[in-house]
Amino acid sequence: MLHRRTFSFLFFITTTLVLMTFTSSHSLAHSIAISSRSMADMERFSNAGRGSNITGISEFKRYLWRFGYLDHNVNTTCNCFSEEFDAMLESALVRYQRKLGLQVTGKLDSITISEMITPRCGVPDSNDHTHTHTHMHSAKNFVYFPGKPRWSGPMPTTLTYAFSPEYTIHTLTLRQIRRAFRRAFTRWSNVIPLTFVESDDYSFAEIKIGFYSGDHGDGEAFDGVLGVLAHSFSPESGRLHLDAAETWAVDFGESWSEVAVDLESVATHEIGHVLGLSHSSVREAVMYPSLRPREKRYRLHIDDVMGVQSLYGSNPHFRSSDISSLQSAISANHAPPRFPPFSILLSCAYLLSFFIIFSR
User: Which residues are catalytic, by number?
Assistant: 270
CB-nearer residue toward Zn ion: 41 or 218: 218
Q: Are the CB atoms for 202 and 278 separated by under 8 Å?
A: no
Min dist CB 29 to Zn ion, Å, is 20
Q: Is 137 annotated as a binding residue?
A: no
Smallest CA-to-CA distance from 169 within 297, 263, 252 is with: 263
Q: Is 30 annotated as a binding residue?
A: no
CB-nearer residue toward Zn ion: 214 or 336: 214
User: What is the Rg, in whole angstroms, of the alpha carbon atoms belonging to the chain?
Assistant: 23
Q: Is 276 annotated as a binding residue?
A: no
DSSP conformation class of 161: E
Q: Count Cα atoms within 13 angstroms, Cβ side, for 241.
A: 24
Residues of this chain, 189-248, that bind Zn ion according to CB under 5 A? 218, 220, 241
Q: Which residue is nearest to Zn ion (CB)?
A: 121
Site string for Zn ion, 99-138 (x = CB under 5 A): ----------------------x-x---------------
Q: What are the distances in angstroms from CA 348 to CA 18, 26, 253, 341, 345?
A: 13, 20, 18, 11, 5
Q: Is 241 annotated as a binding residue?
A: yes
Min dist CB 360 to Zn ion, Å, is 57
CB-nearer residue toward Zn ion: 228 or 250: 228
Min dist CB 251 to Zn ion, Å, is 23
- Going along the chain, which residue ranges are E strands? 157-163, 194-198, 207-212, 230-232, 239-243, 247-249, 260-262
Specify whether the backbone of 61 is left (phi greater than 0), alpha (psi in -120 to 50) or beta: alpha
CB-nearer residue toward Zn ion: 160 or 234: 234
Q: Is 80 annotated as a binding residue?
A: no
Q: Count Cα atoms within 13 angstroms, Cβ side, for 7.
A: 7
Residues of this chain, 11-50, that bind Zn ion according to CB under 5 A? none
Q: Are the CB atoms for 285 and 141 separated by under 8 Å?
A: yes
With H, G, I as helix, E, B as strand and everything else as coil, classify residue 192.
coil
What residues form DSSP beta bridges with 163?
209
Q: How many residues bind Zn ion (CB under 5 A)?
A: 5
Contact residues for Zn ion (CB under 5 A)?
121, 123, 218, 220, 241
Q: Detail the residues annotated as belonging to a binding site.
A: 121, 216, 218, 223-224, 231, 241, 243, 246, 269, 273, 279, 287
Q: Detail the residues annotated as belonging to a binding site for Ca(2+).
A: 223-224, 243, 246
